[in-house]
Amino acid sequence: MKKLTLLGAAVLLFASACQKEKPLTTLPVIGNQETETPSLGERRCASYEVLQEQISHNPSLARRMEEIERFTQDFIDNKGNQRLLADGTIEIPVVVNVLYKTTAQNISQTQIQSQIDRLNLDFKALNTDYNNTPALFQSLRSGSMGITFVLSSVVRKSTTKTSWTTNDAMKKTSQGGIDPTTPTTKLNLWVCNLSGGILGYAQFPGGSSTTDGVVIDDNAFGTTGTVSAPYNLGRTATHEVGHWLNLRHIWGDATCGSDLVNDTPNHNTANYGCPTYPHLSTCTGTPVEMTMNYMDYTDDACMYMFTAGQKARAAAVFITGGPRNTFAQL
Ligand code: ARG
Ligand code: ZN
Ligand code: CA
């Protein structure tokens, strides 16, 4: 009697546990090979028989395989990773928000496209100056970062404001700026007159989506129109999008600080202009500084590469569980 009650409870528990599970489609039955006796000398593969034997001792294996099957079919159907292209690269739609007081500040479509083109060249390592990399650093280069930027839309707004600061007002309609367009799936760029000689700034992964994106001064955006040397090759955006992808300044924003990337050398501090190679660091080991890295502060013409370590760090933002995984999803 006691035994029966226990058994009954066990059955009830089992039944209720099963009801919580989604209904499972059964594993496909492939023929009935186990009943077929192979002819002499015929080769056969025992995998499916071994699987069935394992399942008979371990029913949870069948459920685990159902999960794997669902995951596999979702991948094949391109659900959940629509923007991850077949070659593993990711396509990022870009919204350009233009705030202008003067007509010159209302930059042309050509200037906007020149910035998108520059981003694509630099992030695919198709920039011609990539080949200027000194031999010492050539094996450390990223190759293509695997990111394609596609201009999605342009939002223009006339303003009475002469210049903007780093307080994010340009990102808020309520403060005379422009709210971002779907910032969890689109990279928003704001082009405006920044005060204080600031060329641009980015929001790192992890911040509020309402202020997510990159701000670039109108005289440092793109490669034509209102751009002014030595920031006239669109590299301010390359640098800032690097931050948006979680890359730090190569000097780690401290004397001999770390950028959390182990294939970039330690830099004493930021470099400006166009340093003569080799520029030696004063940090431990006096390594040659990688002044041509996009995450330094050198002139546009003197920065032209990311490293493989920077590529790995940037790629981490898009994978499942990553802070920008929404960009990789449907
Ligand atoms: N955040 C940096 C600044 O405002 C950008 C430096 C970009 N460097 C460049 N060569 N474009 O100073
Ligand atoms: Zn920076
Ligand atoms: Ca480093």
Q: What is the 3-state secondary structure (H, E, C) of 230-262?
A: CCCCCHHHHHHHHHHCCCCCCCCCCCCCCCCCC
Cis peptide before 205, with omega less than 30 degrees from 0?
no
Average confidence (pLDDT) over 269-298: 98
Which ligand is nearest to the Cα of residue 200, counting in written order?
1
What tens digit of pLDDT does each residue of 172-213 get? Answer: 999 999 999 999 999 999 999 999 999 999 999 999 999 999
Tokens at 270, concatenated: 């930021």
pLDDT tier for residue 13 given thresholds of 50, 70 and 90:
very low
- Whether the CA torsion 309, 315, 85, 89 is positive or negative: it is negative
Using one digit for the tens of pLDDT, what is the confidence trace for 93-129?
999 999 999 999 999 999 999 999 999 999 999 999 9
pLDDT of residue 77: 58
- Residue 324 above 60 pLDDT? yes
Query: Can you tell me whether residue 293 is helix, strand or coil?
Result: strand
The sheet with strand 90-100 has its strands ordered as: 147-158, 90-100, 187-192, 214-217, 200-202
pLDDT mean across residues, the chain: 88
1 pLDDT more than 50: no
**Cα–Cα nearest to 234, from 223, 243, 244, 224:** 223
Q: Does 32 or 38 have the greater pLDDT score?
A: 38
For residue 151, give the 3-state DSSP assignment.
strand
% of the chain with per-residue pLDDT over 70 = 84
Q: Is the peptide bond before 265 cis (omega within 30 degrees of 0)?
A: no
pLDDT (0 to 100) of residue 7:
36
Please give the Cα distance from 68 to 62 (Å, whole number): 10
Instruction: Give percent above pLDDT 90 in the chain.
Output: 77
Spatial separation of the C-alpha atoms in residues 265 and 246, rounded to whole Å: 18
pLDDT for 116: 98
Three-state DSSP state, 148: strand
Whole-number pLDDT of residue 330: 66
Separation of CA 318 and ligand 3 centre (Å): 22
Averaged pLDDT, 227-235:
98
* 8, pLDDT greater than 90: no
Question: In the predicted model, what is the mean pLDDT of residues 284-304?
Answer: 98
Contact 120, 149 (CB under 8 A): yes
Whether the CB-CB separation of 305 and 312 falls below 8 Å is answered with: no
**Does residue 9 register a pLDDT over 50?**
no
The answer, yes or no, to whether residue 313 has pLDDT greater than 70, is yes
Residue-wise pLDDT for 77-99, tens only, equals 555 555 666 677 899 999 999 99
Instruction: Specify whether the CB–CB gap between 293 and 264 falls below 8 A.
Output: yes
Q: Which CATH architecture has domain 3-17+41-321?
A: 3-Layer(aba) Sandwich (3.40)
In the reported structure, the alpha carbon of residue 274 is separated from the centroid of ligand 3 by a whole-number distance in angstroms of 20
In the residue annotation, 69 being an active-site residue is answered as no
Integer Cα distance of 89 and 83 in angstroms = 8
Q: How confident is the model at residue 29 (pLDDT cuts 50, 70, 90)?
A: very low
Distance (Å, rounded) from C-alpha 321 to C-alpha 248? 21
Ligand 1 cavity residues, CB under 6 Å: 198-201, 231, 235-236, 239, 297-300, 303
Query: Do the Cβ atoms of 137 and 290 come closer than 8 Å?
Result: yes
- Span from the CA of 284 to the centroid of ligand 3 (angstroms): 12
**Per-residue pLDDT, 2:** 37
Position 220 scores a pLDDT of: 98
Tell me the best of 236, 251, 302 to mutate to test the pocket of ligand 1, counting ligand atoms within 8 Å of each CB and taking the most. 236
Q: How many Å apart are CA 191 and CA 156, to the nearest integer?
A: 10
Q: Which residue has the higher pLDDT, 240 or 40?
A: 240
- The residue with greater pLDDT, 168 or 36, is 168
What is the spatial distance between Cα 214 and Cα 115, in angstroms, rounded to a whole number? 13
Out of 1-15, 131-145, 239-253, which region has the weakest mean confidence (pLDDT)? 1-15
Question: What's the pLDDT at 72?
Answer: 73
Structure confidence at residue 75 (pLDDT): 60
CA dihedral in degrees (191, 252, 147, 236; nearest 10)? 30
Given the structure tokens 């808020």, which residue do they identify?
172
Each domain of the chain, given as residue ranges in start order, spans 3-17+41-321
**Once rounded to an integer, what is the mean pLDDT over residues 53-73?**
89
21, 42, 240, 289: which is the annotated catalytic residue? Answer: 240
Q: What is the pLDDT of residue 21?
A: 36
Task: Measure CA of the first residue to CA of the last residue in the chain; give whole Å.
Answer: 56
